[in-house]
Every structure is written in structure tokens, then in C-alpha cells.
Structure 1
């Protein structure tokens, strides 16, 4: 592994297709070379609140995430150290007592809707990708995900979207697009853009490795 991992951020709205883009990068570069770190893992533990109160929280505001811990973990991974990432229960809105051990690799891939809103986190990113998808498509994907994967009902998903998701997207996520190096319209469906992104990552990684080999000679 190189002394300095390549750090890539993948941002974009909820349901924009970030997961598909991340999957294509993993497949195109090789999972053995990439360590994925998801912002969603860092939601704050709400176990001190009754369940009904937890459900009413604004999970799309930056304050809902312990980004300061994620930053410390990025710093540690960049320095070659293993970290223990929280495991979050999206149905109960609590953190598990278990953690996931994450080790450094050639590439550290950061994924999350709000990662570009945080200046301290942005400064670590060598490449910033923003996945840009129409609002109606994102809403339909979010409904499907939250019902099938996170134990929510349709009414709850729609209420959360109207109260928090859409306003927070307009206030925080959409403006963060200006920090992106590359914007990917239509997400994982945009094969041409994804091929260009993967080629750019390979080129950047090769350049870093070549610089290190020269430095070590």
C-alpha cells in the first residue's frame, strides 16, 4: 500500500444513486484496493430518547451526524491506523454496541449526502464526486429503500421527506455541489461519466504511486 492513500468523496442527494456509483468504482478499481467509509455510520445515538421522539428527529441536518468522529477516523486511516466504525440501527435510531474494524487501503472512499458541507472533511478529499439526479427519481428510490431496508412505512417516509429531506436538500446538499470536482448526472445510469471517473481515479492513483517510488529511490 502507498504511504498516502487516495481519498475520494461521493456526495449527492438521498436516492441520487450514490450507492450504485460507489459499487461501480469498487468493481472498476477492485475492492481489494478500496476501503469504504459511509457517513451514515456516524449518526448520533438517540437511545436516550423514547422511540417516538427518535422518529421525529431531523436526520438530514448536518448536526445529526458525528462528523467530528468520522474526521478523526479519516485522519487515522490516512496515517495507516485501523479504526472502529460505529454500527447504526436505522429502524431503532440507535448505535449498536458492536463496531466494524476498518483498515487503510490504497483508496479511501467517503460516501454520504452531507460530506461536502463539512469544510474539515472536504480538505482531506483528493477527488470529490457529486451524483446529480432528478428530485422525483430520488424520492421514489428513497421510498423503496426506507420501506424495504429500514423498516419504515409510507406515511412516515413521506412526512419525513416533506418536513426534513427536501428542505435540508435545498439548504445543504444542493449548494454543496459547487465543491465537486466532477458532477455525474443520472448517477449509476451514466456509463460514460462512470468510465471517465474510473479512468481519472486510476490515473491519480498511478501518479501518487510513481511519486512515492521516486521519493523512495
Structure 2
């Protein structure tokens, strides 16, 4: 149990460093150096990096070791959002049909309180990391409610690429994200699959527009 808790803590620490860009995109990761910085042995660092690789946040290359995943190009970013629209539209639709009463209530609560409860007064890397964690939790909860583990895993991997871009997200737009999440949650709560899917599509279309500002010349 203690080793599991330690590994979880190292995983969360490294994930935060990546999302805050203190470990920059494409940076090489030295296991021994990370272990020293985190004051742990190399073993939990290796375990954490293996988990981060499965999440898409780091890459492992033969003879080169681990590196932080790179930022997507504009075309790759658009491709990723095209896939999100397909997968998360289905996620919202199935969540509206299949979610338990408990999950419907949880989704509704998280959509209502997430950003008001956690939004800091100023921008910064930690602000973006907090926003990312809350946003990811909301989308993952919908995928969980959809009742398809393969779909949930695919959505998680797509989100990894988005998370690395979060530092460039216009943080003033979090209120728009909250409103859009509420629309999705209300449709799921009402067990209305058409409305839930449409709300998710509208949310992702708006999110794509907001994020594409980072690629402007």
C-alpha cells in the first residue's frame, strides 16, 4: 500500500510539472535526476513515467529514454478536435442514456461548482494545471457514465495532448467553459441523448475556436 501511495504521488508530481511546462514539451527526462529532485528512489519514477506514457504525456524511444510529448501542430490539433467531436459526442449521448442516478448527480454537481470553486484570481501555470484537472475530471466522468471502457480510454489519451497546450489557453474563457459544461450536464440529468450530444458538439466547437488562438501568428 505504501509503495502504491508513493508511486501515485510521484505520478501526480511529474504530471503537474509537465502541465505547468516546468518540464517542457520534448524535454528529455533523466530518471535519476528526477528521483533526486523528488527525493525518492528511481523505481517510483520509472513506474510514474510508464503511467504517463500510457496517458500520452511522455514518450519512450529505444536507446533515448523518455521525453515529454511535443506540442501538436495546428493541423494535428484540428485532427484531435475532430476525433473529440466524434468520441465525446457519443460519450455524452450514451451518458444521457446509461448513467446511474448517482453519476448524473455527480456530473451535475461538478459542472456547477468546478471553476467557481477552484478558479484563482490571476493567471499562471498552477491556475492552468488546476483548470486542466477539473476539466479533465468532468469529461472523464461523462465517459465513465457512458459505460464503455474502450471509449473512456480513447478520450483520456486524446485529452493528454490537449493538456500540454493548456498553458496557452485564454484563462478568461473559463466562464464560457463552465456554462457549456452546465448545458451538457443538464441534458444528461434530463436523460436527453440528442440534447446531450448537441451540447457536447457545441462545447467542443467553441473550445476549438478558443484554443486555436494559441496558433495565431
- Whether the TM-score (by the shorter chain) exceeds 0.5 is no
Q: Which has the higher contact order (CA 8 A, sep 6+)?
A: 1
- TM-score, scaled to structure 2: 0.29
More strand by share: 1
- TM-score, scaled to structure 1: 0.29
